[in-house]
A and B are shown apart, each in its own frame.
Chain A
Amino acid sequence: SAAAGIFLLNIFYSSVSSLYFHIGETEKKCFIEEIPDETMIIGNYRTQLYDKQKEEYMPATQGLGMFVEVKDPDDKVILSRQYGSEGRFTFTSHTPGEHQICLHSNSSKFSLFAGGMLRVHLDIQVGEHANNYAEIAAKDKLTELQLRVRQLVEQVDQIQKEQNYQRYREERFRQTSESTNQRVLWWSIVQTLILVAIGIWQMRHLKSFFEAKKLV
């Protein structure tokens, strides 16, 4: 019961103000998340609209939602959904690489914006941070100490996954680097050969031309 109290307090304190930004009506904002494979991402957002009468930002009304589109590193759409004025989207990566998360508002009622901006509070949790520990504790019936150890294990798992991904990226980086090196070398040789060939062809062509003109 004490553990439950702690969890509730954590949930309360978790709703601290996250980062926010302003988005126009037809504007599309894209965020890139470079993650290893089999990593879960949870995105939370809530929107606010500027109320001219109260001269401050109030929670947006219904009918004003956000359209969320997620693309994987191969530019394939893995999530394309519309959410309300407050939403939570989740996806798990199957290939390592840069995933693109794009948001834009879908307001059909143009007057709601009234030329102003929509304020979007966004929070993206990656990997271990996306775990819901209250749920895990309840499901596996763990004591508080066991849960903390579990959290540490998940953290180390995440770090290890990142390192494996780092190694894979470094290998690709090395391949690209060697490819560039080879290409520079190869093109230099080819260009020199072409120059020499052109020189020879020019001389022979002009020589035969002058001989034909009886100048030589």
Chain B
Amino acid sequence: MSCRGGLLGLTVAFLCCVGSVQCFGQSQDSEFTFLLPAGRSECFYQTAIKNGTMEVEYQVIAGAGMDVDFTIISPQGARLIIENRRSDGVHVVEPMEEGDYEICFDNGFSRFSEKMVFFEIIIEGQGGDVGGDDEFPGVEEPDGSLYSFFLLLFSISLCDLNTVALCSVSPQETMDSLHKRLERSRQMQTVLRAFEARDRNLLEDNLWRVSFWSCASVLVMLCVAVTQVYTVRKLFDDKRRVCT
């Protein structure tokens, strides 16, 4: 790569980094799994920029009933989304106003059971993902699929061979695209992990329930058997003899 190419690449990366913090710095997306005690409500606040999009995905991964009330409240106090007793949901909010959006989870309807809730907030800047996908027109949104991944690796290898005609993108842009796609893969892994955690908790609950009710059932059977025999014997007591 010539000096000028390197400088151009640096400028591109610079502009990319100015627009987003996803190049080297921390991601703006947050994901949390927290414990929501019974009868309580927890709210989280996220600052949203205008003309961007905010995607909120939540899932209840533990707790009897596995459901929770979900609300998103705009900075002005308007309730944008209200969901009652749902176990999971995905919502895309397009902020009309700048400010702090309130994301609330309410477990008030449940008296004894504590819920574990996983939620994820993905913030995208203006015009969709920062960094853009226009270097590969025709390739769809990053879906973490291996096809688009290998397409990019292929393009990098072509650039190495100095075949300028085929190398339409600079390595810098390719790196950014790769980074974005890997991030998307990681986000999907997080969601899959939440699903698996929910299923695992459900299964362990089932196992405990099977054991408990089996023991209870056997105890009840034994008690009933003894009571039956005792009752029948009492019927034939000496005081009240049945005539033969």
Contact = CB atoms under 8 A, between A and B. Distances in A.
Contact of A34 (B33, B207, B242): B33
Interface residues of A, number: 68
Contacts, number: 160
Contacts of B210: 180, 183-184, 187
Interface stretch (A62-70, A76-84, A87-95, A169-177): A169-177
Contacts of B244: 215
Contacts of A205: 229
Given A21-B44, A159-B185, A176 B203 contact: yes
B133 to A, nearest CB: 18
Interface in A1-51: 2-3, 5-7, 9-11, 13-14, 16-22, 29-34
Contacts of A124: 30, 32
Interface string A142-179: 00110111011001101100110010011011001101
Contacts of A152: 175, 178-179, 182
B18 A14 contact: no
A58 interface: no
Main secondary structure of the interface of A (DSSP, over half): helix
A125 interface: yes
Contact of A159 (B23, B34, B189): B189
B135 interface: no
Interface residues of B, number: 63
Interface string B216-244: 01100110010011001100100000101
Contacts of A191: 214, 217-218, 221
Interface in B1-39: 9-10, 13-14, 17-18, 20-21, 23-28, 30, 32-35
B196 A19 contact: no
Contacts of B172: 145, 148
B143 to A, nearest CB: 15
B157 interface: no
Nearest to B213: A187
A158 B186 contact: yes
Contacts of A22: 43
A16 B45 contact: no
Given A10-B24, A31-B32, A162-B193, 10 more contacts: A2-B10, A20-B100, A32-B35, A129-B26, A145-B9, A145-B172, A163-B189, A166-B192, A198-B221, A209-B236
The 10 A-B residue pairs with the shortest CB-CB distance, nearest first, are A14-B25, A187-B214, A10-B25, A17-B47, A32-B33, A198-B225, A155-B182, A133-B24, A148-B175, A13-B21
23 contacts: A2-B10, A5-B14, A6-B13, A13-B25, A14-B21, A19-B44, A20-B44, A21-B45, A31-B33, A32-B34, A123-B26, A129-B26, A129-B27, A145-B9, A155-B182, A158-B186, A159-B186, A173-B196, A176-B203, A176-B204, A183-B210, A184-B210, A215-B244
